[in-house]
Amino acid sequence: MTKAYKTLDDMGEVRGKRVLVREDLNVPMVDGKVTDDTRLCAAVPTVSELSDRGAIVLVLAHFGRPKVPSPENSLALVTKPFETVLGRPVRYIDWEGAEDAVAALQPGDIAVLENTRFFGGEEKNEPGVADRFAALGDLYVNDAFSAAHRAHASTEGLAHRLPAFAGRAMEAELDALDKALGRPEHPVAAVVGGAKVSTKLDVLKQMVTKVDHLIIGGGMANTFLAARGVNVGKSLCEHDLTGTAEEILDAADRANCTVHLPYDVVVATEFKPNPATRTVNVHEVAPDEMILDIGPAATEALGDVLKNCRTLVWNGPLGAFETPPFDTATVALARTAAALTGDGSLVSVAGGGDTVAALNQAGVADDFTFVSTAGGAFLEWMEGKDLPGVAALAR
Ligand code: ADP
Ligand code: MG
């Protein structure tokens, strides 16, 4: 099937061509050491392939949130770690004299250009900045899905100035997201959890129109329970949003989307590791208790829902998973989803900072069909928004 955007397969002969490749090299660093190289690893397939094909590979990326150019936000710091992960030489090119440095490169060479955000106009998508980047290259590849929800010069403006292609990581992400919500196999289930309704309103509204089963867990389930007249005690709950919760439940009804709220929950009077807990029906929460996880009966019922579904998209943990034992439901349901994925009966896609952490904690991140580490871009995609960096790649 023809994709909506061009990929590295559509680039033709690239030998000797200068290819500007937007990657996400915004890695966490402590004392000059990269503490999580996931993003560097994600850049490897595209950069290696283009280098193998004889392109002059010029990596564009941002690093941190510099207000003005500063050494601690220099991508020179990331060049060595990237070289290690890539297993081949990587040069660093400063903006000053970049034209000459690029002109000296040979086919197959790889260089990381300095932080795109050293130009004040990068984040404003200023034409002059995109022009400046474009002058350094012949072709443009965007491989940074995680930066695609921002219309910046290096993620959007540049795509209108040079022939533009999706890199391999971008392509894999878009393929997975398309399978999960673009053209999914039904029935589709969504798990939406996490702390608050207020941060996921648009996600919930969008899911209601897209999926057959909406599973609501986490702190936000408390607001929905409160909307249904449940006394949630001292639980995290946005009482001012119960009206909104009711609207979402009504919209779900109209759209034939079945909403699953927990009917048993795990409660405690103190929020600390391994406190005394009770497992109770949602109608039995005492005034001084907090709901911190969904209960075993609800978890088992949700597993049965997933068994009858073909597709799952998951954002947000079902409980306060960082604090034992309130990771129990999240871990159990994640393992069920992983097993069903292994059996070939479920396509499972998950994303979100805490969700990825929870799936890692459950030891199943590799057993899902796809786990997105894109954070903001993943959420905006779940909200049904057009991502400017992706839209700009349209054929
Ligand atoms: P993500 O980062 O995957 O999008 P969120 O940031 O929305 O997820 O939500 C994760 C947070 O929600 C976690 O810190 C977790 O402890 C919290 N949370 C989940 N359930 C509860 C609950 N019942 N009470 C309080 N906090 C909760
Ligand atoms: Mg979070």
pLDDT in tens, 137-161: 999 999 999 999 999 999 999 999 9
Is a pLDDT exceeding 90 seen at residue 2? no
Annotated catalytic residue within 54, 64, 121, 353: 353
The tokens for 223 are 């607001």
Which of 201, 354, 383 is the best mutation target for the ligand 1 pocket, counting ligand atoms within 8 Å of the beta carbon and taking the most?
Answer: 354
The tokens for 47 are 């950069």
Q: Among 293, 309, 300, which Cα is nearest to 369's?
A: 309
pLDDT tens digits, 374-386: 989 999 999 999 9
- Shortest-distance ligand to the CA of residue 237: 1
Q: Among 196, 195, 326, 309, which Cα is nearest to 257's?
A: 309
Is a pLDDT exceeding 80 seen at residue 193? yes
Residue 173: per-residue pLDDT: 96
Residue 79: per-residue pLDDT: 98
The tokens for 127 are 């034409």
Give the C-alpha separation, 100 to 285, whole Å: 69
Q: How many CB atoms lie within 10 A of CB 335?
A: 16
Residue 3: per-residue pLDDT: 87
For residue 32, what pLDDT band results from cuts at 50, 70 and 90? confident
Q: Which atom of ligand 1 is nearest to the CA of 196?
A: 7
Q: What H or E segment, with its residue span, contains residue 210?
A: helix 201-210
**Closest C-alpha to ligand 1, atom 16:** 320
Residue 180: per-residue pLDDT: 93
Give the C-alpha separation, 89 to 248, whole Å: 53
Give the C-alpha separation, 286 to 289, whole Å: 5
Has 353 been annotated as catalytic?
yes
Residue 108: per-residue pLDDT: 98
The type of residue at 240 is D
Residue 281: per-residue pLDDT: 98
Distinct helix (H) and strand (E) counts, the chain: 13, 17
Distance 352 CA to ligand 2 centre (A): 6
Contacts of 325 (CB under 8 A, 6+ apart): 266, 274, 277, 293
Residue 119 exposure: Cα atoms within 13 Å on the Cβ side:
24
Q: Which atom of ligand 1 is nearest to the CA of 322?
A: 16
Q: What is the pTM of this model?
A: 0.93
For residue 1, what pLDDT band results from cuts at 50, 70 and 90? low
- CA torsion through residues 104, 108, 111, 113, sign: positive
Give the C-alpha separation, 94 to 132, whole Å: 13
Residue 170: per-residue pLDDT: 98
Give the C-alpha separation, 356 to 363, whole Å: 10
Q: Is 81 in the pocket of ligand 1 (CB under 6 A)?
A: no
The type of residue at 239 is H
Q: Is 233 in the pocket of ligand 1 (CB under 6 A)?
A: no
Q: Cα 301 to the chain's mean position, in Å?
A: 27
User: How large a percentage of the chain has pLDDT more than 90?
Assistant: 98
Give the C-alpha separation, 24 to 67, whole Å: 19
pLDDT tens digits, 222-272: 999 999 999 999 999 999 999 999 999 999 999 999 999 999 999 999 999
Determine the 3-state secondary structure of 254 from DSSP.
Answer: helix
CB 285 within 8 A of CB 230: yes
The tokens for 225 are 């329970």
Q: Which atom of ligand 1 is nearest to the CA of 358?
A: 3
Q: How many CB atoms lie within 10 A of CB 129?
A: 21
Average per-residue pLDDT in the chain? 97
